[in-house]
A and B are shown apart, each in its own frame.
Chain A
Amino acid sequence: MNSALTIARKEFVAALRSLSTYIIFTIFLVISGILFSMTVFKIGKAELRFLFELIHYTYLFYIPAITMGSLAREKSGGTLELLMTLPLRTGQIVAGKFIAALLLLVTVILCTLVFFGIILWYGFGIDYGAIMSGYLGILMAGGAYIAIGIFASSIQQDQVLAFILAFVISAFFCLSTVILPLLPVAVASVFQFISFGYHLDSFYKGVLDSRDILWFLSITAGFLLMAEFNLKLRNRAQER
């Protein structure tokens, strides 16, 4: 576990030193800021549900952008060869990348607390429980998207392709609610269960349902395991 933290620390520091991180940060915050200020007065309610939904949609671009390089860059630069010869388990490499991306996500979500502050300042009758569980929900969904992004990055050497693949898989989970009305009822219920929006809904309401939590955790674990498997498979490395 220690080694995973060492990798995470190195990744996080490298991200903070890189200009592209700040560009992605800024774009994310500007977009969510604009959308927030456009909608907050229309709705006129002291809740953050719409903010969470909007953060959820920006994830589609933001998370593939921060995870696209995680393993793809190590592969194209050859540094994966070095990592695989260190006394590390493949799982620790993947875990390190995951923790680093999650930390970046937490950082940027902390920046959105400004919106929460605005609501807090001007709003009345705020449901603190719903806001807390909403934040937990988007963090868990974020974790699942990060796992998807790392999986995509483990398949591709090219960062752009990794981004596109992560985007497509994420879009499936994010947008499958959109096509629900077009589907027959039997299939619709399956798609509804798969979609992240459905599971996030109860978080927004302030309900912590173990089914939703387990759903996000299993998606996260599943994609991380697939990423690990991929690294072993692709490198034909000695089992460790």
Chain B
Amino acid sequence: MISIENLSKTFGDIRAVDNASFTIRRGEIVGFLGPNGAGKTTTLRMVTGLLQPTAGNILINDIPLQDDPLAAARIIGYLPEQNPLYNDMLVYDYLKYVATLREVRKGDFINRLDFVVQKCGLFEVLAQPIGTLSKGYRQRTGLAQAIIHDPEVLLLDEPTSGLDPNQIIDVRQLIREMGNAKTVVLSSHILQEVQALCDRIIIINRGKIIADAIKDDLPALLESRMRVTIEIEGGEMELEPFLIDYPDAVLAEIEPQDQSVLYTFTITEEAEFKRRFAQYAMQKQRLIVGMKTHSLSLEDVFHRLTSPILDEDNLMPDSNVVQHSDAAEPQDKETRDE
């Protein structure tokens, strides 16, 4: 378990991490999401003991990090962002070196090696110098190094950067498996990755934690309204009576097509709106040929939370901001999980 209390780190005038607090429980996969330079790496570095915080506390399994950094280092596995490796070493020698320094006992080493080689798919390159490896294999070697001592806490800084799509799937699979029994924190600026992997998402921007929520709750945190697009056969229809009668619906967009017109509304109650609108169309003797509901994708949430025009007051559900923001076009829910 990792607990962070009011953690801050300044570099000169720059506040890299600003009063961050959160707790990560065992068995959670937490995504640390933020644009480049948001303070993700700095936070992870402080948790590993690589950087001393300017203020605040880090508790690892209820023990303050500064009291026993070596004990904390024993249970943490860390994959740094740059994934530094010794290019002149063989993969096997490197893993053995790290395992020895990680105090893996000689008898256990073979089992652990077996495990990581199989999990990370390193068998073919075990006897190769690290300098000759491709980016993908280097990343896997870095990952193998991070899990060779069976750590309770796994900190991965941008674990899939530079990998090809197949490798990304493999690495994600591995992280998911590790997440069953361990605490995994991974940082990323890639939304799809966090979306695909994590149970919980912490969004950090300019050093501040601006959202911390279970994955599926996050869009709701920002926006309770959704958008509905309705396709009506024929030319434009008069909508004013409907809008006056049902003020919850706000017309956002009219888009004429060849044979029909697309109307987009923002609403809160989907079922009620659909029923009312269907009745209204029937009254007007118009045919509804299509109806589609969009919910906000994580991407929109991320964009809104981290875009510089918004200040903190606007982070709470606020229909005005969302409604008039053209910056983030909502995506279809169906295409989200690709």
Chain A interface (Cβ within 8 Å of chain B)? 3, 6-7, 10, 14, 17-18, 77-89, 235-240
C-alpha spacing A81/B86, complex, angstroms: 12
The verdict on A237 contacting B101 (CB below 8 Å), with A17-B88, A85-B73 known, is no
Chain A-chain B contacts (Cβ-Cβ < 8 Å), number: 80
Question: Closest chain A residue to B85 by CB distance?
Answer: A79
A236 touches B52 (CB 8 A): yes
Mark each residue of chain B from 62 to 92: 1 if its CB lies under 8 Å from any CB of chain A, else 0: 0001100111011010101010111111000
C-alpha spacing A82/B76, complex, angstroms: 12
B52 touches A237 (CB 8 A): yes
Does B49 have its Cβ within 8 Å of any Cβ on chain A?
yes
Q: Which of B52, B78, B101 contacts A88 (CB 8 A)?
A: B101
A81 touches B84 (CB 8 A): yes
List B314-338 residues whose CB lies under 8 Å from chain A: none
C-alpha spacing A81/B45, complex, angstroms: 9
C-alpha spacing A179/B27, complex, angstroms: 68
B47 to chain A, nearest CB (A): 10
Contacts of A6 in B (CB 8 A): 97, 100-101
Does B26 have its Cβ within 8 Å of any Cβ on chain A?
no
Contacts of B84 in A (CB 8 A): 77-82
Mark each residue of chain B from 48 to 66: 1 if its CB lies under 8 Å from any CB of chain A, else 0: 1111100000000000011
Q: Which of A3, A14, A80, A238 contacts B101 (CB 8 A)?
A: A3
C-alpha spacing A236/B54, complex, angstroms: 10
- 16 additional contacts, CB 8 Å, given A14-B89, A86-B98, A87-B101? A6-B101, A78-B84, A79-B85, A81-B80, A84-B49, A84-B50, A85-B73, A86-B73, A87-B103, A89-B70, A235-B50, A237-B50, A237-B52, A238-B66, A240-B49, A240-B69
Contacts of B89 in A (CB 8 A): 10, 14
B51 touches A236 (CB 8 A): yes
Does B112 have its Cβ within 8 Å of any Cβ on chain A?
no
A240 touches B70 (CB 8 A): yes
C-alpha spacing A32/B310, complex, angstroms: 71
C-alpha spacing A77/B70, complex, angstroms: 23
Contacts of B88 in A (CB 8 A): 14, 17-18
Q: Which of A77, A87, A239 contacts B52 (CB 8 A)?
A: A239
Does B294 have its Cβ within 8 Å of any Cβ on chain A?
no
C-alpha spacing A18/B97, complex, angstroms: 18
A87 touches B80 (CB 8 A): no
A87 touches B48 (CB 8 A): no
Does B102 have its Cβ within 8 Å of any Cβ on chain A?
yes
Question: Closest chain B residue to A96 by CB distance?
Answer: B101
C-alpha spacing A17/B86, complex, angstroms: 13
The verdict on A239 contacting B66 (CB below 8 Å), with A79-B86, A87-B73, A87-B74 known, is yes
Q: Which of A10, A17, A237, A240 contacts B51 (CB 8 A)?
A: A237
C-alpha spacing A18/B69, complex, angstroms: 34
Question: Closest chain B residue to A86 by CB distance?
Answer: B101
